[in-house]
Amino acid sequence: MIKVKNLKGTAGRVPNGYDSWLEYWEAKAGQRATKCMRVGCSVTGRANLVGAHVKKVDIYDNKWYIVPLCQADNMRTDEFFVYEPLVPVNA
C-alpha cells in the first residue's frame, strides 16, 4: 500500500478512447474496478466508484495517478493509504 492525497480540481479531460478515468484505470491496470482501493474502506460496486486523481505523499515524483475510490474517499482532504496499482495519468 502507499500513502496518497487527493488532487482537487483536476478532473481534466479523459484521454481519447476512454469513457471515464475509471475505465482508463481498468485498461492500464488490466483489471476491473470492483472496490474502493482505500485501505479500510468497504465500499464495493463499480457504480459507486470514480477514477480519482491522487498524488503520492512520500515520493516526490510530481506525477498524478488514478486510483478507484468511492465518492466519500474522493472528497477526503487528509492523507490516506491505498492499495496498488496506481496508474499514472499519462501512462
Residues that bind Zn ion (CB under 5 A): 36, 38, 41, 43, 70, 73
Cβ nearer to Zn ion, comparing 5 with 17 = 5
Task: Please report how close the Cβ of residue 86 comes to Zn ion at its closest, in angstroms.
Answer: 15
The smaller minimum CB distance to Zn ion, of residues 61 and 78, is found at 78
Minimum CB–partner distance for residue 24 and Zn ion (Å): 19
Which residues neighbour 51 within 8 Å (Cβ) at sequence distance 6 or greater?
20, 21, 22, 23, 24, 25, 33, 66, 67, 68
Residues 39, 16: Cα–Cα separation, whole Å: 30
